[in-house]
Chain A
Amino acid sequence: MSKERILILGNGGAGINAAIAARKTGFKGEIAMVSERDGPVFNPMLSPYYLKGIVPWERCFPFDYRIYKELDIRCHFGTPVVELDGIGQEVTLGDGKKISFDRCLIATGASPVIPAIEGLEDHSLYKTIRTPASVLDLNGAIRGGGKAVVLGASLVGLKASEILKKRGMEVILVEKEMQVLPYGAHPLIAGILTSFLEEKGIEVRLGITLKGAKPWKGRVICDFGEKKEIADILLICTGVRANIDFIDPRQIMIDKGAIVDNRMATNVENIYAAGDACQVMDFLSNRHRWFGTWGFACKQGLVAGKNMAGEDVHTADFVMENISPIFDWMYAQVGQIKGYRNDVTYEYLKDGKDGHYLFVLHEGVVSGANLINTTHLAGMIRQAIYKRLPFSYIRQTLLIR
């Protein structure tokens, strides 16, 4: 190689921000980018807004093709990376091509998890909501008056239920756990959200498992054991997993993603990871965790890009955060609600007719919060978690106004 080469695996928020940061830092070498999908950066977070008719399709692509030219990125699009030799500093693509590098960023994102359920090996039976193709496929399948089964009451599942309902479908939201948002919401808050969804006409079934699915006259028979539903759409929203199958775990430490430090560097020199493909340090638990949001991916990509270009910058540890409208309500999770530690207490406060706060406290210090229609405090509560401020401070300064 005549020039230094930064190789970015993935063409999403993390990857493009890494390239932007590297160039802004003054990197003059080659930037190459590999992506299985051929097309500009897609922001999956915008899919629900497209499906609701709030944003046009073209705006789901926040950077257009010009950016690759502006940043002088050599694109290898349309073929996946199948092998990464971190020590030999070379990747192998699906078409057999090999690309060597000086520094490499793993930013390959994540894909929906499809549960191991009989019938779901037939991909035509279900829809997902992640890639441009899957979003267009779902959009084309939505028919007013039909029936949709949404599997998984994740935040995506809740948003998808809203979209399908608003577009005239009968919606059944199915969750195998006994509450909606089983990983992000306190049961009390989950119960409030469940009642709200039911008021909006969504049938919520909790503690129910899909046993199998099979085609029937262009529709899907969903077998829930005692009950069967014939659905026009079966939408799978049971989470995502990092696209890291090409990583050799004997080289690079992985768990649910590639493990990185606060420079976004893996354990292998010159190999970095960012976005949904990595796990970063959780401020609260002091463990590496997966934080899958667009904002985090962009931030992590930026830090990785600067470091790959020769700077030495660090991110702060991360605090879990999610915020989203659900119908005409706003919901947010800040920090850790469940599984943080056992010796926590909870403080629930109501604010007006539809405002709810649920704080998780450890020794009087806030470690998490669920907010419904009180998300104007989300950023300040997140800051309070970072500063380890006591709940009494939040109560006095933010809640009593």
Chain B
Amino acid sequence: MMQYGFSFDISRCTGCMACVIACQDQNDSEGDNPPSFRYVIKYEKVQGTNPLIYFFSISCQHCGDAPCIMVCPVRAIKKRDEDGVVVIDRDLCIGCHSCEMACPFGAPKFQGDGRMAKCDLCYTRIEKNMKPACVRICPTGALGAGPIEELSKKKAEKASFVFLTSLVGDYHR
């Protein structure tokens, strides 16, 4: 099965939030403070005397073995055969939030109707040979998307939540 995914280059992300806005726009998020399928977190540390700030742009990683799928009691979450994108059938969702607990990336977002919605990697855009909205807008090229095997190994690793592990290293040095 083809597996699409995001790549993320932490050294390029400036925390400009353009990806978040593009995602909200693409998905017609409404309201004063709509949940975005993509968000950016900031991490600061001091190396020697130099303060360093990192930004992480995070959304659903469309995991190969997505933990949200198995915990969904109504089997509303599925992986598309054609591209490995993890999608939800919102008509089936009962709002139990089990996926929210299972996902280490905070990807499931609950809308005003109590049902989950999430990043679908803009597969309708990809099917038309366009980039996902967040990737297209990213001014520094930090975000990328495509078949996993085409993404560079380095970028693919960075795309995953492996960064959490790398942070642990900082604390235990």
Residue positions of A touching B, CB distance < 8 A: 17, 43, 45-46, 49, 54-55, 59, 62, 294-295, 298-299, 302, 321, 323-325, 330, 332, 334, 375-380, 382-384, 387-390, 393, 396-398, 400-401
Q: A49-B94, A382-B101, A383-B104 are in contact. Are A397 and B73 (CB under 8 A)?
A: no
Q: Flag if B167 contacts A43 (CB, 8 Å).
A: no
Main SS of the interface on chain B?
Answer: mixed
Interface-side segment among B40-48, B78-86, B126-134, B146-154: B40-48
Most buried by A among B39, B95, B102, B165: B102
Q: Offer 15 A-B interface pairs, CB within 8 angstroms, sorted by A.
A: A17-B70, A55-B94, A62-B73, A294-B98, A295-B71, A298-B71, A321-B101, A324-B96, A334-B101, A378-B101, A380-B105, A387-B164, A389-B164, A390-B171, A397-B56
Q: Flag if A298 contacts B101 (CB, 8 Å).
A: no
- Closest residue on chain B to residue A383 by CB atoms: B104
B132 to chain A, nearest CB (A): 22
Is B168 at the interface (CB under 8 A from chain A)?
Answer: yes
Q: A323-B100, A383-B104, A383-B161 are in contact. Are A46 and B94 (CB under 8 A)?
A: yes
Q: A387-B168, A393-B171 are in contact. Are A382 and B94 (CB under 8 A)?
A: no
Q: Flag if B41 contacts A398 (CB, 8 Å).
A: yes
The 6 closest A-B pairs by CB, nearest first: A295-B71, A383-B104, A379-B103, A323-B101, A378-B101, A397-B41
Q: Flag if B96 contacts A376 (CB, 8 Å).
A: no
Q: Which residues of chain A have C-beta atoms less than 8 A from B73's C-beta?
A: 43, 45-46, 62, 294
Q: Which residues of chain A have C-beta atoms less than 8 A from B98's C-beta?
A: 294-295, 323
Q: Which of B70, B104, B114 contacts A380 (CB 8 A)?
A: B104
Q: Flag if A54 contacts B94 (CB, 8 Å).
A: yes
Q: Which of B43, B70, B114, B165 contacts A298 (CB 8 A)?
A: B70
Q: A45-B73, A294-B73 are in contact. Are A397 and B100 (CB under 8 A)?
A: no
Is B155 at the interface (CB under 8 A from chain A)?
Answer: no
Q: Which of B103, B105, B108, B171 contacts A389 (CB 8 A)?
A: B171
B33 to chain A, nearest CB (A): 11
Within 8 A of A (CB), among B115-171: 161, 164-165, 167-168, 171
Most buried by B among A295, A330, A388, A400: A295
- Closest residue on chain B to residue A332 by CB atoms: B101
Q: Flag if B42 contacts A397 (CB, 8 Å).
A: yes
A376→B171 CA distance, assembly (Å): 25
Q: Which residues of chain A have C-beta atoms less than 8 A from B164's C-beta?
A: 383-384, 387, 389
Within 8 A of A (CB), among B30-82: 39, 41-44, 56, 70-71, 73-75
A367 to chain B, nearest CB (A): 15
A45→B94 CA distance, assembly (Å): 11
Q: Flag if B94 contacts A379 (CB, 8 Å).
A: no
Q: Flag if A379 contacts B165 (CB, 8 Å).
A: no
Q: Which residues of chain B have C-beta atoms less than 8 A from A294's C-beta?
A: 71, 73, 98
Q: Which residues of chain B have C-beta atoms less than 8 A from A45's C-beta?
A: 73, 96
Q: Which residues of chain B have C-beta atoms less than 8 A from A390's C-beta?
A: 171
Q: Flag if A387 contacts B74 (CB, 8 Å).
A: no
Q: Which of B97, B103, B161, B168 contacts A325 (CB 8 A)?
A: B97
A225→B141 CA distance, assembly (Å): 71
Q: Which of B94, B100, B114 contacts A375 (CB 8 A)?
A: B100
